[in-house]
Amino acid sequence: MDRQALLNQMAQTLVAAASQGAFGDPIPIPRAETVNGPRAGAVRLFAGWHTGPLLRILAADDCALARQFIPWDFQDAQVYLDGRAVRVEAPWPPELATQAVRLREINRQPRGGGRWTIGIDELGRTVIGALNHATPHWLLAGTTGSGKTTALLGAALQFSRDPQTRLVLIDGKGGAGLYPLRNLPGLVGPIATDLESARNALGWVHRELQRRYEMMASGRAVAFPRLVVVYDEFQEHTSDPLIAELLRRIVLKGRAAQVHCLLATQHPTVRMFGEEGGAVKRNLPGRLALRVLDAKASEVVVGGPVPRADRLTGAGDAYAIATQTVRVQVALVEGEDLDEVERSEPEMDDYPPMGPEDVGQEVEEPRWSYTGEELAVALAAVVRGWGRPRLQAALEQRGLGRPGSVRADRLLRLAREQLEALREEGLEVVALQEEE
Ligand SMILES: Nc1ncnc2c1ncn2[C@@H]1O[C@H](COP(=O)(O)OP(=O)(O)OP(=O)(O)O)[C@@H](O)[C@H]1O
Ligand SMILES: [Mg+2]
């Protein structure tokens, strides 16, 4: 049987059972609609005054009654209020589900204006996301394998087709995910893959944001090229106070300056933007809820108890939440799509190092980020007049890890300051005891 035939059968039996009093008093259902989605099928029942009781009866005991009317194999059924209708829904078994919708089949041209094709909805219509005044930033949430990186690849690829857009790519999990985008046109710098480079990239974005605000304040400009930060697994970095603060400011102030963020996470607990729930809605008004692990995570990202993102089927099955909520099958990006992209080098070889001065007085230099051991080695290095390469080697030798050049320079600077302070207090510092 095909999907539509199964849906018709389900609608007919539900309507008949309700009207014949199978659910208590007879419930007339003058209208029923079928929803033949790519990953799930549903029936929408319009029961007028009887909507409340019908919803309660069908949803009770984990949809025990509704399950009897679903004529295919399924795991999780859902019954919820969908507009005016009571919606009974279940995912298709693998042999009936649409496995993928290819990006190349639904979009090849830039949409421009900060818009991108997210995927198709349940009626096969294209769902378009937008970076605009209403949804300047988007949160993408989903458990591992749900399709976050794929969704980001699709969005970034489309933005890169628009010469008006510049991109900053950051990957909280080491860079494997966004690596296919390394030569995308419009990149400001290389993909930031560690804490240090993420700080530098966000520092650059923040300076650009401030520059734009100054230009707006002086009346020199009000419109700027769109700047989009694409940040995969961003929760991996937000325990760094500097990154958390930069990101918070960029999100709060970006809207007016055409600076936008797409933030993807496995753990949609986004406390850094304020208390959960409301703050997410306010600051990240665009959301793509891929399959999440539990009802609590679903509520944070969806912004309410239904629909349940933990009942999605994975692999790009999602709710897109902007002015309305729609179920969407996210477009699949394939190697070919990326191969077609004209290659280009990022504008900068590297983001310039950022310092604490970039976020003003409110955030201190993160001294905590150096261990006492590292600092001890750096002090020894300064006393001996070593330069950066020897310090890097010495740290590595002691099993403390080889720091990048920026981090090593900072350690040296910090050690010099400390020695200076000691000398000012009249202490003479001689070479510290340590083996060569
Ligand atoms: N839109 C999609 N359409 C079809 N299949 C998809 C889609 N998105 C993801 N998949 C499938 O799921 C797999 C995992 O996707 P992806 O790497 O994007 O997930 P993720 O959420 O980033 O996971 P991770 O936590 O491992 O980073 C893909 O290799 C692909 O097989
Ligand atoms: Mg991923």
The confidence band for 357, taking pLDDT boundaries of 50, 70 and 90, is low
Give distance in angstroms: CA of 265 to centre of ligand 2.
9
Average pLDDT, the chain: 87
Distance (Å, rounded) from C-alpha 410 to C-alpha 402? 14
Nearest CA, atom 15, ligand 1? 147
What percentage of the chain's residues is helix, strand, coil (to nearest 5)?
40, 20, 40
Give distance in angstroms: CA of 224 to centre of ligand 1.
33
Contact 116, 154 (CB under 8 A): yes
DSSP code string of 215-283 = HHHTTS-S---EEEEEEETGGGTTTSHHHHHHHHHHHHHHGGGTEEEEEEESS---GGGSSTTHHHHHH
Burial class (CB in 10 A: 0-12, 13-18, 19+), 288: buried
- Quick one: pLDDT at residue 436? 40
Atom of ligand 1 nearest to the CA of 233: 27
The confidence band for 413, taking pLDDT boundaries of 50, 70 and 90, is confident
Q: Which fold has domain 3-91?
A: Threonyl-tRNA Synthetase; Chain A, domain 2 (3.30.980)
- Quick one: pLDDT at residue 256? 86
Distance (Å, rounded) from C-alpha 330 to C-alpha 101? 7
Give distance in angstroms: CA of 425 to centre of ligand 1.
59
Could you tell me which of 246, 251, 267 has the C-alpha nearest to residue 192?
246
**If you average pLDDT over residues 201-225, what whole number do you get?**
87
- Quick one: pLDDT at residue 279? 58
Sheet holding 317-321, edge to edge: 126-130, 115-121, 325-330, 317-321, 286-289, 137-141, 259-265, 226-232, 165-171
Q: How far is CA 78 from CA 23, 57, 62, 74, 403, in A?
A: 18, 13, 8, 11, 51
Contact 239, 271 (CB under 8 A): no
The CATH homologous superfamily to which domain 103-357 belongs is P-loop containing nucleotide triphosphate hydrolases (3.40.50.300)
- Domain layout of the chain by residue ranges: 3-91, 103-357, 370-424
Nearest CA, atom 24, ligand 1? 144
Give distance in angstroms: CA of 145 to centre of ligand 1.
5
Atom of ligand 1 nearest to the CA of 146: 21
**If you average pLDDT over residues 83-88, what whole number do you get?**
94
Q: How far apart are the first and last CA of the chain?
A: 78
Ligand nearest to the CA of 331: 1
Distance (Å, rounded) from C-alpha 354 to C-alpha 338? 31
The confidence band for 360, taking pLDDT boundaries of 50, 70 and 90, is low
Nearest CA, atom 6, ligand 1? 315
The structure's pTM equals: 0.78
Give distance in angstroms: CA of 141 to centre of ligand 1.
12
Is the pLDDT at 25 greater than 60, yes or no?
yes
Residues 6+ apart with CB under 8 A from 234: 170, 172, 247, 263, 264, 265
Atom of ligand 1 nearest to the CA of 330: 1
Residues 6+ apart with CB under 8 A from 416: 382
Residue 15 has φ and ψ, to the nearest 5°, of -65, -40
**If you average pLDDT over residues 26-54, what whole number do you get?**
95
**If you average pLDDT over residues 265-278, what whole number do you get?**
64
Is the pLDDT at 14 greater than 90, yes or no?
yes
Ligand nearest to the CA of 142: 1
Q: Residues 104-148: pLDDT tens digits? A: 988 877 788 899 999 999 998 999 999 988 899 999 999 999 999
Nearest CA, atom 30, ligand 1? 315
Could you tell me which of 323, 270, 268 has the C-alpha nearest to residue 133?
323
Residue with tokens 């000691």: 422
Q: 3-class SS at 79?
A: strand
Q: Is the pLDDT higher at 255 or at 332? A: 332
Question: Of how many residues is the chain composed?
Answer: 436
Structure tokens at 300: 């944070």
Give distance in angstroms: CA of 96 to centre of ligand 1.
20
With pLDDT > 70 as the criterion, what percentage of the chain qualifies? 90
Distance (Å, rounded) from C-alpha 128 to C-alpha 155? 10
Is the pLDDT at 353 greater than 60, yes or no?
yes
Could you give the dihedral angle defined by the CA atoms of residues 348, 388, 372 and 432, in that order, rounded to the nearest 10 degrees? -170
The confidence band for 429, taking pLDDT boundaries of 50, 70 and 90, is low
- Residues near ligand 1 (Cβ within 6 A): 100, 142, 144-150, 177, 266, 315-316, 330, 332
- Quick one: pLDDT at residue 280? 57
Could you tell me which of 78, 73, 41 has the C-alpha nearest to residue 58?
78
Is the pLDDT at 159 greater than 50, yes or no?
yes
Is the pLDDT at 364 greater than 50, yes or no?
no
**If you average pLDDT over residues 147-153, what whole number do you get?**
96
The confidence band for 361, taking pLDDT boundaries of 50, 70 and 90, is very low
Distance (Å, rounded) from C-alpha 129 to C-alpha 259? 16
The confidence band for 432, taking pLDDT boundaries of 50, 70 and 90, is very low
